[in-house]
Structure 1
Amino acid sequence: MKTVKTNAMRLLDKAHITYQVHEYPHGDEAVDGENVAKLLNEDVSCVFKTLITQANTKEYLVWMVPAAAQLDLKKAAAAAGVKHVEMIPVREITKVSGYVRGGCSPLAMKKSYRTFIDASALSQDHIYFSGGKIGLQIETAPGDLIDLLQITAADITHR
């Protein structure tokens, strides 16, 4: 069965970035990143989840962190140069990003937001992240993704 192109894949195609698509079995609910890594038979340190926060300035910020790690809100705020950030409520994910929980890709959101990735990505040959729907992961070189979105790499997690 052929995979239907998502907006995230179209953006990568337009930028001529090499990537692979990986599908995994799922129900209607989101699958946490650690289980995605198991389903893909991949090291969990290569699988990244996409999180969205709102800063005290009301700016939305996007964060890519390894599936087994937690976003450190203090480190995140410092990386973004704001006083503080808070996770947005789950009910706002679709409104802000255009994606559903569990299928939120850092690529091709409704609007362009400043995006950050945990510095651990820089030591990986490839990373996985949501392709824009539940059950779909994109694999690509982190440098290509960083260049495409002008992502800032920073120490933003606590494990």
Structure 2
Amino acid sequence: MDTYDLLMDLLGRGDARYRLIDHAPEGRTGPASELRGHALVQAAKCLVVRVALGRRTRRYVLAVVPGDRRLDLDGLCDLYGGTEASFAVREVSERLAGCVSGSVTPFALHPDLELVVDPDLLVHDEIFFNAARLDRSVAMATEDYVALAAPRLAKIAGTASR
């Protein structure tokens, strides 16, 4: 079962309130938000980050921030008591997320991936994200997302993106 099918199964089993939005293939948050027709602040920007905890120890985090904001890598590093945080290399990110870069979902479906969401994303009734595909997205009730994903909540969003 691919990641899209896993996601659809999870949403179905969880009785989530959601709708699918088909659109032209797009993996960048701003253009995808325009195609889906919603405010950028409602987009779940999903980033796989490697946090170094020591010389040979690391943890991978799926960090989710509002689409109009940058990720505060230093803040995420501090949250885990790490020594350094950086974006995971593409092949690791895609392996852990189970989909191509730009289509990462805000669900940690791999056991080596920990989910952290900035609470500023969750102030909206509905959030939007790519559905493990570049050409299909999900609009989902925020409270259902929180119930299904059970994320760790932390202020990890930095300043607004350019």
* TM-score, normalised via structure 2 length: 0.84
Structure 1 stretches of 4+ with a deviation exceeding 4 A read: none
Q: Is the 8 A contact 1:63 1:116 kept in 2?
A: yes
Partner of 2:101: 101
**Structure having the larger proportion of residues in strand:** 2
Name the residue aligned to 2:126: 126
Whether 1:53 and 2:49 are equivalent positions in the alignment is: yes
Question: Could you tell which deviates more after superposition, 120-129 or 140-149?
Answer: 140-149
Which residue does the alignment assign to 1:37? 33
Call closer, same or farther: CA 1:71–1:20 in 2, change over 3 Å: same
Within 2, Cα distance between the matches of 1:142 and 1:104?
A: 17
Question: Which whole-Å CA distance do the structure 2 matches of 1:81 and 1:9 have between them?
Answer: 34
User: Secondary structure at the residue paired with 1:59?
Assistant: strand
Identity %: 19
Note the residue ranges of structure 1 that are not aligned, 5 or more in a row. Answer: none
Aligned residue for 2:122, secondary structure, equals: helix
Question: TM-score by structure 1 length?
Answer: 0.85
Q: Aligned partners of 1:121 and 1:143: how far apart in 2?
A: 11
Match of 1:6 in 2: 5
Contact 1:146/1:152, CA 8 A, preserved across alignment: no
**Residue 120 to residue 90, structure 1, CA distance change in 2 (3 Å):** same
The CA RMSD measured in Å over matched residues stands at 1.9
User: Post-superposition shift, 1:53?
Assistant: 0.7
**1:106 Cα shift?**
2.6
Q: How many residue pairs align between the two structures? A: 152
The question of 1:18 aligning with 2:17 is answered: yes
Report the Cα distance in structure 2 between the residues aligned to 1:67 and 1:78, rounded to whole angstroms. Answer: 22
Note if contact 2:27-2:134 (Cα within 8 Å) is conserved in structure 1. Answer: yes
Structure 1 residue 104 displacement after superposition: 1.3
Q: Could you list the per-position Cα deviations for residues 62-115 of structure 1 after superposition, in whole angstroms to 9, with x for gaps in the alignment?
A: 011122211010111233443432110123222222111111113363336221
Question: Which runs of structure 2 are paired with 1:79-118 in the superposition (5 Å)?
Answer: 79-107=79-107, 109-111=109-111, 113-118=113-118
Q: Give the Å deviation of 1:127.
A: 0.4
